[in-house]
Structure 1
Amino acid sequence: DPAPARRSRRRWVGLGGVVAAAALVAVVTQTPPREVPRPTTLAPEAPVAPAERDEEARDFVPDTALAVRQLVVRGGAGTVHVHQGAARPIDIDGDPALVTATRDEGQLTLALTPSPDPEAHLDVHVSTPDLEAIKVTGAASVVTDEPLAVPRLSLGLSGSARVTLDLRVDALTTSLRGSSEATLSGHVTSHDARIGGASHLAAGDLDTEATSIAADGTSEATLRARASLDVRNDGAGEVVYRGKPEHLTRAGRGIRAEGE
């Protein structure tokens, strides 16, 4: 009889559907729900204290070893002694309250305050392995107690600043303004100098291979060059040179060889 067979097939198909539905329910039940990502909330950045933000550019207690590339000296009476060697703490011979030291990367700035005692002395000693520039303003002085040997050195003076330096330098540049004075000795391969105001460059004991100088105002200079000397004097001062340079170029007045 075909009718019972059709009913049997329907029952089988119906049973299969029930089994498949049960399996699907089991899978859905066992699968954990997908998490929806929550928006990320960043905590506000903690403020940085000024000393932490720029620790290098602040006044510091001068008991820290310093590697200085540029030395700036400002202010009143006092002498800064430059020593070449391992970096050492600043050594102050005198009242430490008269010295303010500020470091910004490789630059050390020393501000010297005049002492109320006219008999008091102030000597500051700075030791560094290498130096690229020395700038002195006001009435301060910078000296070397032993030769300073560096590849390049830039020297700038203004006001009534004074320097006395013994140098072993490949390339030296010098700028003098105001009534400043530089006394230089040693040996330099090339020297490029610019002087003005009432400044004085005493470099007759600085042996150079080549020197170029431009002078104006009432500034004066004494120089020495072996191979090449280029002198231009647009001022009322005098430029005197020692030795007999192989090539000599002169422009302006007040230029003469020593002994002329």
Structure 2
Amino acid sequence: MDGTRTRTKISIKSLLTHAVLWVFVGIILVPILWTFFTSLKTPVEIAHGTFLPEVWRWENYRIAWEQAEFPRKFLNSFIVAITVTLGQIVTSAMAGYALARMEFRGRDLIFNVAIASMLISEQIIIVPLYVMLAKFGWIDSYKGLAIPWFFNGFGVFLFRQFFLTIPKDIEEAAIVDGASRFRILWQIMLPLATPAVLTLFMFTFIAEWNSLFKWLILVKSPEMRNVQLGLTIFQEQFIAQYHLLTAATILVSLPSVILFLLGQRYYIKGIATTGVKG
């Protein structure tokens, strides 16, 4: 009898939990679905407030793509995002390995400084950074938009924590065989740290793809604008044409959404591993 009551309580609890979760899923999905359906409507249908379009007008995406001049902006965003992402993976892996495996004076101080750098926003450093980049002649260029963002305190923390979970026996065996530190890092440690690599790749690429502030400050010519800056300008020009505005918004969001859906398993594993050992 007691066993039946216990199973009944568990079933009710599970049912309530799933019900609450589905409510939250609905809260999240309704605005997304509304945006998607709005992008396929006509202005008349939007004014009438209908939820579903009578005819799905996929040409809204083509019009938005052409009107916003997205091809060049997508290229600019991709070049800067992939460059910054690869740069952060290289610098974070090297720093994380040194802080996790090598003994040297000031190691803990360097690690603390790397963690503290996460508290500094780019709005704080943008003025001296702009002055420095102007002296280099890097304003309105890929170099100025990418190179200063090659360091990431979170990436250093992520790789250090992941490398601490890898048994030292693997590394010691490689040292006995005559492998150098660089060879151990790139041929042994980094392949084992695939979840950390993919996690940082996702974090950085999505952040750079959605970046707007530095592009507002460091970009002057229309040819160097990214998708977020282009979307902002497009919004000002087509503020009343919600079907085109929502279509442009979805086009800009697609790369980030697709990347997250493809790598979410590694993302969760990489985040979970950062707290395993300190």
Q: TM-score range by the shorter chain?
A: under 0.3
Higher relative contact order (CA 8 A, sep 6+): 2
Larger Rg: 1
Give the structure-1-normalised TM-score: 0.19
- Bigger proportion of residues as helix: 2
Structure showing the higher strand proportion among its residues: 1
